[in-house]
Amino acid sequence: MDKIKNGLLGVLIGDALGLPVQFNDRSWFSKHPVTTMIGNGVFNKPLGSWSDDGSLTLALASSLSHGYNLENIMKEFEEWLFYGKYTQEGQAYDMGQTTMNAIMNYHRGVPVSKCGGKTYYDNGNGSLMRILPLVFYLRAKYGKYFTQSTQAMTIIHEVSGLTHAHELAKMSCGIYLSIANELCNGEALREGIELGIQKAMIYYSSDPSFKKVSLEFERLLDLESFSKLSVKYIGSSGFVKDTLEASLWCLLNSSSYQEAVLKAVNLGNDTDTTAAVCGGLAALAYENIPAEWISALHESEQVDTICIAFKKHLDKTKAA
């Protein structure tokens, strides 16, 4: 399976694993651990259902199939919110407040550059959860060293900023895609995470606008110590830094896609997004998503269609 499809499936399946048990706290999971994909639950959705994480990931991939255009990306997000595009049942649900506010701003005619939430309180994980497809576009357009390109990194920040425009959310997306890029380069998981963080930090250390928020990621600078932290020091809320750290901690303490995403789900709280963010990287690293989980995704034909169109456009981008 190619990296694009594997990565997108990694996000969608992580989302589907965590969705039924979302909002339960960690103590609940100690008594009711999730060991495989289930249905129903909080939103009473069938087995193999993805939510906003998966839908907006597909929306971004679909938009990038026509090139990079912020207006078009927001139009696809609008189609999701109002008409249920990229969903399995024709209706959007489980959307975050910051994401919804931004799309409503766009719907009311606010310019795309001003739609996203810019305060510290707007640092939910709603841009991080959907950002993975951008790594494939940036690799095609700028090559495998795109973290050295100010233009490429600006694109990451612009795509995050459509909904989440604070520097913390933008930097979280930058670190995440830097790691994803190293995994696409063939680095082993731990080395890919370490290199990805290092290269992202080199970029952000040279940009004064990120100086203050860079301090939020100090724990990631000592990956050995971070990976050995007790789970009680790992947050799993909807705060973007919590989601990034939790997903990386799960990856560093696992040896397969299945183990990583189940560990993410069992952290509790924002289970679907933590598992989706973790799952995207795990799929790039391991490429061993259980076949029964892939087959459980219903309406997956749209995933195939989007991946084919996306890959076709990227091949043209590389050729150009």
Residue-by-residue DSSP string for 231-255 = GGG---SSBHHHHHHHHHHHHHT-S
Query: Which pLDDT score is estimated for 122?
Result: 98
In which element (H, E) is residue 191 found?
helix 189-205
Distances in Å between the alpha carbon of 36 and those of 20, 21, 85, 169?
Answer: 11, 12, 27, 30
| pLDDT at res. 317 | 87
Select from 136, 215, 227, 139 the least CA-distant residue to 171: 215
Instruction: Specify whether the CB–CB gap between 127 and 162 falls below 8 A.
Output: yes
Unique residue bearing structure tokens 């928020």: 213
Instruction: Give CA separation, 308 vs 64, 201, 231, 313, in Å.
Output: 12, 33, 39, 9
Percent helix / strand / coil, the chain, rounded to 5: 70, 0, 30
Residue (of 81, 88, 74) closest to 19 by Cα position:
88
At 319 the pLDDT is 67
Query: Which tokens is 314 given?
Result: 């990227």
Least confident segment among 227-231, 256-260, 291-295, 315-319? 315-319
State the chain's mean pLDDT as an integer.
Answer: 97
Model confidence at 94, pLDDT cuts 50, 70, 90, reads very high
Residue-wise over 214-244: b if at least 16 C-beta within 10 A, else e? bebbebbeebeebeeeeeeebbbbbbbbbbb
* Mean pLDDT of the 254-272 span: 98
pLDDT above 80 (res 1): no
The percentage of the chain sitting over the pLDDT mark of 90, rounded to a whole number, equals 97
3-85+95-319 CATH fold: ADP-ribosylglycohydrolase fold (1.10.4080)
Q: Is the pLDDT of residue 160 over 90?
A: yes
DSSP reduced 3-state for 164: strand
Whole-model pTM: value is: 0.98
For residue range 109-131, list pLDDT tens digits in order: 999 999 999 999 999 999 999 99
pLDDT of residue 287: 84
> What pLDDT is stored for residue 318 in this prediction?
81
User: Which one-letter amino acid corresponds to residue 286?
Assistant: Y
Mean predicted confidence (pLDDT) in 256-281: 98
CB contact set of 228 (below 8 Å; sequence gap of 6+): none
> Using one digit for the tens of pLDDT, what is the confidence trace for 19-59?
999 999 999 999 999 999 999 999 999 999 999 999 999 99
- Residue 41 has a pLDDT of 93
Mean pLDDT across 179-207: 97
Residue ranges per structural domain of the chain: 3-85+95-319
